[in-house]
Amino acid sequence: MSLLIQYTLIFASVLMLVALGGCFSEHSGVINLGLEGIMVIGALGGALAMKYLGAAPAAIVIIVVVLVSMAFGMLYSCLLGVASINFKADQTLIGTAMNMLSVALATIIVKSINLSEDPDNVSSIVDYGSSKKSLIMTFGTFQLSWFTVIAVVLLIASYVLMYKTRFGLRLMACGEHPQAADSVGINVNKMRWAGVLISGLLGGIGGITYITAGVSAWKFETGVAGFGFLALAVMIFGQWKPLNIGLAALLFGFFRALSNVYSGFDFLAALNIPGTVYNMMPYIISLVVLALTSKNSRAPKAEGIPYDKGTR
């Protein structure tokens, strides 16, 4: 049971962080379908930081890894910002292209690094095992990742930022009625850039949280197994509200964790259900949930629509 709780918390943390990133972007008026790609690039930055930090003090490892993952995620999200805000390109196509590019880019970078360090090593694997223990807090038989603590802190901060600050209210105004926001002096493009960069920041942390969930090395050719799209389902189910997103992430995280530990429960093992079915459950649940709730979903009205200052 403790293992189920551990995995639920870590997977919920991933979904929470990435879904919050999508929430900020869409509240600003930009659909971010590139969250999967941002996760991969953020994970790349964090994994490389862990690889080179080695056995550095735990506090340094945590701070540096988080900052590097944030920086890589924000940098990669600039592709979406430039294309969709500055050039008013189709946001769906840009997000899809970012997802496709990220795995190839990360694979090439990792292979190049490995090849330069060892001419016989052309793998796309980053080994960060020596630093991973710095990310875990142990309480008897229970382990808690520092990323889970960070996710909870960022969830609370996101709620406060979005609903209790002038910045958050202006951001949401740009996603609801950008022309009205512009008429009272709000720079719509600047606010949309802020939303995209915040989504990159949170998505980058979500990426490194995901790949460090249970292994000490990561093969970047495998990507992040659709977690970026699961996070979008969490965001929609949570109605683009931070606290609701936190609860939805726990639900989806539970079903994802169940696929890791089902064999440890006698009553589940006795059902003789193939393990692949449990692996599919988070995605099946997302389809069912969206089918039942999407009719009542209320997305920001201006999301996905490039802002034209001349339109009223």
Q: State how far the Cα of 307 lies from the Cα of 36, in Å rounded to an integer.
A: 25
Q: Residue 264: inside a domain, yes or no?
A: yes
Q: What's the pLDDT score for residue 266?
A: 59
Residue 202 CA, distance from chain mean position: 6
Q: Residue 111: inside a domain, yes or no?
A: yes
- Residue 278 structural domain: 2-296
Q: Residue 216: inside a domain, yes or no?
A: yes
- The region, left, alpha or beta by phi > 0 then psi within -120 to 50, assigned to residue 138 is beta
CATH number, domain at 139? 1.10.3470
Cα–Cα distances (Å) from 72 to 68, 198, 232, 298, in that order, read 6, 12, 20, 31
Q: What's the pLDDT score for residue 257?
A: 87
Q: What's the pLDDT score for residue 312?
A: 61
Q: Residue 234: inside a domain, yes or no?
A: yes
Q: What's the pLDDT score for residue 296?
A: 78
Q: Residue 311: inside a domain, yes or no?
A: no
- pLDDT of the chain along its 312 residues, tens only? 788 899 999 999 999 999 999 999 999 999 999 999 999 999 999 999 999 998 889 999 999 999 999 999 999 999 999 999 999 999 999 999 999 999 999 999 999 999 999 998 999 999 998 898 889 888 877 889 999 999 999 999 999 999 999 999 999 999 999 999 999 999 999 999 999 999 999 999 999 999 998 788 999 999 998 999 999 999 999 999 999 999 999 999 998 888 777 655 656 666 677 777 877 888 888 888 888 877 778 889 999 999 887 666
Q: How many domains does the chain have?
A: 1
Q: What's the pLDDT score for residue 262?
A: 67
Q: Is the pTM of this model over 0.85?
A: yes
Q: What's the pLDDT score for residue 193?
A: 98
Q: What's the pLDDT score for residue 270?
A: 66
Q: Residue 230: inside a domain, yes or no?
A: yes
Q: Residue 19: inside a domain, yes or no?
A: yes
Q: Residue 310: inside a domain, yes or no?
A: no
Under a CB-based contact definition with an 8 Å cutoff, are residues 8 and 172 in contact? no
Under a CB-based contact definition with an 8 Å cutoff, are residues 34 and 99 in contact? yes
